[in-house]
Amino acid sequence: MKDSRRSFLRKSAFATAAAIAAPGIARAGVKKDDDDIQTGQFKLKYAPSIGMFRASAGDDPIDNIKFCHDQGFRAVFDNGLMGRSVDVQERIAYELDLLDMDFGPFVLYADFSITSFVTDDPEKRKMLINRMKEGVDVAKRTNSKWALVVPGRYDEKLHWDYQTANVIENIKFCAEILEPAGLTMVLEPLNTLKNHPGLFLTGIPQSYMICRAVNNPYVKIVNDLYHQQITEGNLIPNIEAAWDEIGAFHLGDNPGRKEPTSGEINYKNIFKYIHERGFKGVLCMEHGKTEGGKEGDQKVINAYRHCDSF
């Protein structure tokens, strides 16, 4: 009964939305100059964080999701999903299902303070496996398909190759928990120069090698372009080289980690490349805003309209 009711509500919502949005959608299909602001649904699944547009949508997560949908976004993400109450998790899942929106990766494990994946310590492996089981429970309630993992700090007292071997083995154990639930782990390499010194996983080539060694379709990479602009640059060639192992993207300009067009990254060219490759996944807008209030919200939306007008 629950699935039938959701299907009926979704169809009704789509019919109403189509009648209202048809003129905007038609305009969005018209070729315009690069600087023109488009309307309607975006070409790619850019995903605001729940709460990014709080100044415009208020504090309620459901109102935030509705606002994002109204602006043309067809995905959202929520790093703090595991910390929300069961009731809120279920409400989020219901609204996303109703609006046919995707849910980007939630943070399953990201402890920057300890060595974890790099060790062969049985107690730490047990901790990681238990954490994966908690993530599976959240994923089942929220229909989530992607969970983000940061493998933690490196060990200064252990040779790097041994650490890499331990990371591969620990990921294999964790993937065995996630795979039956249809939950894909996405590994996130982070920069150590500006934000996260001391972490083990830092680059796309390193992450690619680990994914190939694990050899499980439920283990992929989330390519955070802000972090990788700092760590290695060469963004499009690295996307191309690692394409088969990339499951999702994180977005943010550099310097400043604000919306696209605020820094040095040519996001319009990157989005064009990703779109031409046929990417159907989520691109999480994991960044701040250069301005506050409703004006800042609109500036972010306009930046994505500009970069999506390739």
Would residue 291 show up in a list of annotated catalytic residues for this protein? Answer: no
- Of the candidates 249, 187, 175, which has an alpha carbon nearest to the alpha carbon of residue 217? 175
- Catalytic residue (one of 123, 169, 188, 232): 188
Please state, as a whole number, how many other Cβ atoms lie within 10 Å of the Cβ of residue 102. 19
SS3 76: strand
Instruction: Kindly list the distances between the CA atom of residue 104 and the CA atoms of 80, 139, 145, 265, in Å, as whole numbers in the listed order.
Output: 12, 11, 8, 22
CA distance 308 to 259: 13
Among 95, 245, 259, 286, which one carries the catalytic annotation? 286
By the 10 Å C-beta count (0-12 exposed, 13-18 middle, 19+ buried), 43 is classed as: middle
Q: Is position 286 annotated as part of the catalytic site?
A: yes
Q: List the structure tokens of 309.
A: 């007008």
Question: What amino acid positions are annotated as catalytic residues?
Answer: 188, 286
